[in-house]
A and B are shown apart, each in its own frame.
Chain A
Amino acid sequence: AQSVSQHNHHVILSEAASLELGCNYSYGGTVNLFWYVQYPGQHLQLLLKYFSGDPLVKGIKGFEAEFIKSKFSFNLRKPSVQWSDTAEYFCALRMDSSYKLIFGSGTRLLVRP
């Protein structure tokens, strides 16, 4: 079955450290890929999305992600994290023309001041 894997379940960083969260998917067709963020007690918000074209996607709050088709990956990066980035991050996959998004299990990020 098609799936989305986020191998890092918990990540702890100090402020100003660089961040990379992994996301791998298993599907050989056309994909759209998304990163969502969920701050404590809040709903999911879209950080960025890959639709087509440039594989390097820039989102809100200084986040970016790179789509590497050969590696079936869409890793999320930020050069310097802040305490306010403490949240849970979800990668999501849309396959071909499906209406559905498939979500990974999430990565909890804790940024220490």
Chain B
Amino acid sequence: NAGVTQTPKFQVLKTGQSMTLQCAQDMNHNSMYWYRQDPGMGLRLIYYSASEGTTDKGEVPNGYNVSRLNKREFSLRLESAAPSQTSVYFCASSEAPAYGYTFGSGTRLTVV
């Protein structure tokens, strides 16, 4: 049982480049989330998708876009990467929010 799978695990971008972080879950969960983790700041919600076909902004959405491709997949796109987007990005999914989330293993992104 793979759970939540994120690709890539590591990425280095130059300022202004674009890229898409991929996330897929095989637990038939309805809700999916993208968080970023920065030292001393915990996890901050970028975007979430409560169900297939819906997406909503979280706490720090600027500079990002998302696509809920189907029930399994939820991608995060950086259109023009900036050094401030250097972070560790976690995807998560949930059967129901009251039960908590299942997290992926993260993507460590460095923008130079």
Residues of the A chain whose Cβ atoms lie less than 8 Å from the Cβ of B44: 103
Pair count A-B, CB < 8 A: 58
Q: Contact size class for B?
A: 20 to 34
Binds A, one of B19-27, B68-76, B78-86, B98-106: B98-106
Judging by beta carbons under 8 Å apart, are B97 and A98 in contact?
yes
Question: What 1/0 mask marks residues of chain A from 41 to 71 whose CB sits below 8 Å from any chain B CB?
Answer: 0111110010100000000000000000000
Min CB gap B5→A, angstroms: 11
Min CB gap B37→A, angstroms: 9
A70-94 at interface with B (beta carbon < 8 Å): 90, 92, 94
Contact of A9 among B40, B43, B48, B97 (CB under 8 A): B40
Q: Considering residues A4, A49, A101, which has the most beta carbons from chain B within 10 angstroms of its beta carbon?
A: A101
Residues of the A chain whose Cβ atoms lie less than 8 Å from the Cβ of B58: 100
Question: What 1/0 mask marks residues of chain B from 49 to 66 whose CB sits below 8 Å from any chain A CB?
Answer: 010000010100000000
Knowing A105-B40, A105-B42, say if A100 contacts B103 (CB, 8 Å).
no
Question: What 1/0 mask marks residues of chain A from 102 to 113 whose CB sits below 8 Å from any chain B CB?
Answer: 111110000000
Min CB gap A94→B, angstroms: 6
Q: How far is the CA of A4 from the CA of B45 in the complex (A)?
A: 14
Q: How far is the CA of A101 from the CA of B41 in the complex (A)?
A: 14
Judging by beta carbons under 8 Å apart, are A105 and B41 in contact?
yes
A24-39 at interface with B (beta carbon < 8 Å): 32, 34, 36
Q: Smallest CB-CB separation from B105: which chain A residue? A: A43
Judging by beta carbons under 8 Å apart, are A42 and B101 in contact?
no
Q: Smallest CB-CB separation from B101: which chain A residue? A: A101
B positions within 8 Å CB-CB of A = 31, 33, 35, 40-45, 48, 50, 56, 58, 90, 92, 94, 97-106
